[in-house]
Chains A and B, each alone.
Chain A
């Protein structure tokens, strides 16, 4: 039976390195299967987080050959044959053990987002065309691959000032909702740090749900922030007409 060679990161906060394992290759095998084989036969203490094995829970995020991927959605036969498969934990988050990282920070960011705030006394009816945009954002499985690859967090470590693409997607879903009454442009500018995103689209490249994060969520939000905070003509119009931001 053909064999696959995997170089899997083993270690914790104090340090670690890649360790080589060999597993029998089976048809249709994904990287998570190979990791489970290692766990079952060679290294029962190998830590990996997973739940659904169906690319829907967002738990098994890691880096395969240097790219942020869901382990359960990455087929072994899609990787270059004859070369070791390198499996490492998400780089942007603190390591717990082996392939498991601490993604708690993301949940803290999520709590800061002003929640859905329905319009008072509104009739609860809307048309499909009003929610088509928002439904794309609802596909998010919170795998945090986009957070991991985003250079603002990954390379520049700006967790102090930037919410990251996943949470800009969430805000887009709220801001564009036909029943939501709140304006979050000030939050986007000052708290979520949308200006730190330089629209280089790595988040879009890695999203396993194919959400067009940059073009459909972040850029439209940037434009809304411009409406309220940078466009001098609109500022003047607001001054003259007394209209509020977001109107």
Chain B
């Protein structure tokens, strides 16, 4: 192709003819990720106050016994969820825009950083293994739903506390986030070319339609689940520290 662009050559970071507040969305995303990521990191480093009665913080689930590990158990427990979120197609968009500024917003000039390789070079080529992080996250859901079940029991009796609802909301939104994953959408049926050709394919078409409907809200689930997981940890932490008393609803 002939040299592109009368204007590409004039590009520098932030150059644009856009009149709207293009910096607002990446700014909010950066602030949100820093705030929630910052809280989760701080909470994971504490290693204390992560359970109260049968309530367990989702950041510390499943509970593991690792005497050889000198630091907070959350630093091990959180590896799969971290891999899942950091290779998620939505979060990739979010951090490529908000932190890598690549691009910071559509039709806005970028930093000149030499030859662009996108997701073809190391380490970004590893994003292609997102489905394996999905498998782990899927497994983690079993632990988290077990915690929800546990949160319904108080001294051997069934009950509901505010904490039960907080933990239920955290696991519920995490489940929606996990099952709206693009890789899952592909695996469940998206990879097929013909949905009507076999009975099995017809079944998978139904599943694919369901996951596709969830997938449209994947970004929303990504944020809501992140907020509710952090909040669940925060709530259990306050209870454990004695700052707040759980409200029994039932």
Q: Is B107 within 8 A of A227, CB to CB?
A: no
Please indicate which of the listed interface residues B17, B117, B196 has the most CB atoms of chain A within 10 Å of its own CB. B17
Is the contact region of chain A dominated by helix, strand, or loop, or is it mixed? mixed
Q: Is B116 within 8 A of A80, CB to CB?
A: no
In angstroms, Cα B4 to Cα A153, docked, is 9
User: Which residues of A112-129 are within 8 A (CB) of B?
Assistant: 126-127, 129
Which residue of the partner chain B has the closest CB to A225?
B128
In angstroms, Cα B118 to Cα A175, docked, is 23
With A199-B89, A200-B102, A230-B128 as known contacts, state yes or no: A66 contacts B118, CB within 8 Å: no
Q: Is A155 within 8 A of B109, CB to CB?
A: yes
Q: Is A220 within 8 A of B8, CB to CB?
A: no
B146 at the interface (CB under 8 A from A): no
Contacts of B193 in A (CB 8 A): 130, 175-178, 180
A158 at the interface (CB under 8 A from B): yes
- Give, as a whole number of angstroms, the nearest-CB distance from B17 to chain A: 3
Q: Is A196 within 8 A of B118, CB to CB?
A: yes
Residue of B92, B182, B191 near A227 (CB, 8 A) is B191
B49 at the interface (CB under 8 A from A): no
Is the contact region of chain B dominated by helix, strand, or loop, or is it mixed? loop
In angstroms, Cα B205 to Cα A170, docked, is 22
In angstroms, Cα B91 to Cα A201, docked, is 12
- Give, as a whole number of angstroms, the nearest-CB distance from A147 to chain B: 11
- Give, as a whole number of angstroms, the nearest-CB distance from A137 to chain B: 14
In angstroms, Cα B18 to Cα A219, docked, is 28
In angstroms, Cα B4 to Cα A240, docked, is 48
A224 at the interface (CB under 8 A from B): yes
With A105-B1, A129-B196, A155-B110 as known contacts, state yes or no: A198 contacts B19, CB within 8 Å: no
In angstroms, Cα B216 to Cα A59, docked, is 30
Contacts of A20 in B (CB 8 A): none
Contacts of B128 in A (CB 8 A): 195, 222, 225-226, 230
- Give, as a whole number of angstroms, the nearest-CB distance from A128 to chain B: 9
Residue of A83, A130, A195, A230 near B195 (CB, 8 A) is A130
Q: Is B195 within 8 A of A198, CB to CB?
A: no
Which residue of the partner chain A has the closest CB to B182?
A219
- Give, as a whole number of angstroms, the nearest-CB distance from A210 to chain B: 13
Which residue of the partner chain A has the closest CB to B94?
A200
User: Which residues of A209-231 are within 8 A (CB) of B?
Assistant: 215, 219-220, 222-227, 230-231
Residue of B102, B103, B191, B194 near A126 (CB, 8 A) is B194
Q: Is A66 within 8 A of B18, CB to CB?
A: yes
In angstroms, Cα B185 to Cα A224, docked, is 12
Contacts of B107 in A (CB 8 A): 63, 66-68, 91, 149, 154, 202
Q: Is B182 within 8 A of A149, CB to CB?
A: no
B58 at the interface (CB under 8 A from A): no
User: Which residues of A142-200 are within 8 A (CB) of B?
Assistant: 149, 151-159, 175-178, 180, 193, 195-200
In angstroms, Cα B17 to Cα A216, docked, is 29
In angstroms, Cα B8 to Cα A63, docked, is 14
Contacts of B96 in A (CB 8 A): 198-200
In angstroms, Cα B11 to Cα A52, docked, is 32
Contacts of B116 in A (CB 8 A): 152, 155-156, 158, 196
Contacts of A54 in B (CB 8 A): none
Contacts of A158 in B (CB 8 A): 116
Contacts of B185 in A (CB 8 A): 220
Which residue of the partner chain B has the closest CB to A132?
B195
Residue of B119, B131, B182, B191 near A196 (CB, 8 A) is B119
With A197-B119, A202-B107, A223-B182 as known contacts, state yes or no: A230 contacts B129, CB within 8 Å: yes
Question: Which B positions have Cβ atoms within 8 angstroms of A?
Answer: 1-8, 11, 16-20, 89, 92-93, 96-97, 102-103, 106-107, 109-110, 115-120, 124-125, 128-129, 131, 182-183, 185-187, 190-191, 193-197, 205, 215-216
Task: Give the top 7 A-B pairs by smallest Cβ distance, nearest first.
Answer: A66-B17, A66-B18, A202-B106, A156-B116, A223-B186, A196-B118, A195-B120
Task: Please list 20 pairs of residues, one from A and one from B, whose beta carbons are closer than 8 Å in the complex, sorted by A's number.
Answer: A65-B20, A88-B17, A89-B6, A91-B5, A91-B6, A95-B5, A126-B194, A126-B196, A155-B110, A156-B116, A157-B5, A178-B196, A178-B197, A180-B193, A195-B120, A196-B116, A196-B118, A205-B106, A215-B216, A219-B186
